[in-house]
Structure 1
Amino acid sequence: MFELSDTAWTAITLTLRIAVLATLVATPIGIATAWLLARRNFPGKMIVEALVHLPLVLPPVVTGYLLLLTFGRRGAIGSFLADTFGIVLSFRWTGAALACGIMAFPLLVRPIRLSFEAIDIRLEQAATTLGANPWRAFATITLPLALPGIIAGMVLCFAKAIGEFGATITFVSNIPGETQTIASAVYALIQTPAGDREATQLIVVSMILAFGALLVSEWFARRAVARMRGD
């Protein structure tokens, strides 16, 4: 049942690499965005909130097409990156990581924002009155208290990246060994008469990875609640 082919193993390892890169790159941006939405009021805040959550409601194929228009070889940003730095994202595994990071970004930001909102701001104010500058207070007070929410958001981002399909196949296509993730490999296999067995194997693998990630996320969420209650 689990004697996977080399193509299947390549898809699994590539999926994990894409999910890890997407999570690591999106996390600092997600932390900054979550803090901004949790702690600051500014003109256009509702628009920013809507943009953050837009990938949740926008069809993934539309998101992938917009990425292709923007970061493609002839896109406004894509052409600049290619001509200036030699960085090409379209039809590359790095482009798949970009698509996964954008699709998972709302799931990353939400638990981190809730963690920031649950922290008593008076703790940070007390640190500043004792001589800590705002950056030090953030690093020593806010981030440690928000850590369970940050980890939960990272796990959700990772899980979403593992299963992303529509945006990635639109932006980077389905190239074996380069952009073929588990989801796109399953899609290709179910189009062939003899691909059911291997497709089932990959489906089981993806379910195990996603379920494990959700369990970890739930565990950290429970820890965050327990910490806020003082348990």
Structure 2
Amino acid sequence: MSLGHQERAPSTATRGGYVGAGGFLFASSFLLSPSPSWARNLPSGPSKAELLEKTRAKDSEDPVEKKARLAALRKERLERQRQLDAEEEARKKDPNRKEVDIDANLRASYYYPTAQKRYLPRVKAAADALPAAREALQAGEWEKVESYVAKEADNAALPLKLYASSLTGQGLSLDVSYVKVLSQQGDVYGKELENFKKAVKSRDTTKALTSLGKMESALVLYRKTARIDKEDGGVGEFPTDTKLGASFGNNNPTLYKKK
């Protein structure tokens, strides 16, 4: 065997081992370096002495005084809570106590105006379209009746419940009997709506008229109790052409009432 043949170039595997070992040594020297070049350019944080100084500043208050101050605050808070509880109990026992008024308590609340504009237009739409639906039912015009069921009537079922719920979901201590009436009539409407749907599907005019009449009674009592039986449906007037966008994001064609 010739000398040139014996001194042939290292194999591919051997070269790979050299490269791997070299890369490992380079990475190790880079990571283990006490002060790599890139680290010198980073902003330095507070020193240990500075951190200790800040900690001492926070704890500069005398422990005894701090404990006494916290105890006094706790006592004051408990006394205030007991006072509020006593006042609430006295109000409940007051024989001359009057029902809370919606507008006085909820006018400044975000949730109540939102509920007004989101739910009441659908309630009004169902009430306004009901007489025409009755006439169509009496005339046997089932397509018009089915349209009322699928649109105005069905669209009002959930808002009736949600609007009543919004009056008690303010985080306020409301104790008003009309909220119970609204909840009850919302349930009545929902139940009779299901009966109305079945009667319309089976083309039973008599049962459909009966259910529609109960739905109307529930709507009338609901709107009268909530004091929304007015021309604007209790929603009120509000701008629709604001440059900042719509007041509410509910994509409902009956949501806004233009002047």
Question: What range describes the TM-score normalised by the shorter chain of this pair?
Answer: under 0.3
Structure (1 or 2) with the greater helix fraction: 1
TM-score by length of 2: 0.24
Give 1 or 2 for the bigger CA radius of gyration. 2
